[in-house]
């Protein structure tokens, strides 16, 4: 679902587009094809409904990964909701 060279799982359900400004490349680095969905709010929010939807989506992705064939590859920190704040090339 996620990998070391893209969005974290938390960012996958929190950002529609990359936010790589800190890298100094004017957003040219990192993939533009993230297939992500921010659940209605880009980035951080305190909206309980959006947070519940994001948590549900993360759990769904984890379940799909665990029941798929083969050895699952889990990006360290995804199980805890680690974020790179939308930077998909950190």
Would you state the pLDDT for residue 26? 87
What pLDDT does 5 receive? 80
Q: What distances in angstroms separate CA 69 from CA 31, 56, 65, 66, 73, one per listed residue? A: 26, 22, 8, 8, 11
Nearest of 88, 15, 79 to residue 45 by alpha carbon: 15
Query: pLDDT tens digits, residue range 73-87?
Result: 998 999 999 999 999
* Segment 9-14 mean pLDDT: 96
Length of the chain: 90
Q: What is the pLDDT of residue 31?
A: 87
Residue of higher predicted confidence among 30 and 50: 50
With tokens 């590859």, the residue in question is 73
């Amino acid at each position: 679902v996620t990998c070391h060279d893209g969005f974290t799982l938390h960012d996958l359900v929190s950002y529609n587009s990359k936010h790589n400004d800190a890298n100094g490349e004017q957003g040219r680095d990192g993939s533009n094809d993230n297939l992500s969905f921010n659940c209605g709010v880009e980035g951080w929010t305190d909206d309980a409904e959006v947070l519940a939807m994001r948590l549900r989506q993360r759990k769904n992705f984890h379940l799909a990964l665990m029941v798929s064939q083969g050895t699952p590859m889990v990006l360290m920190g995804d199980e805890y909701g680690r974020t790179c704040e939308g930077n998909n090339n950190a």
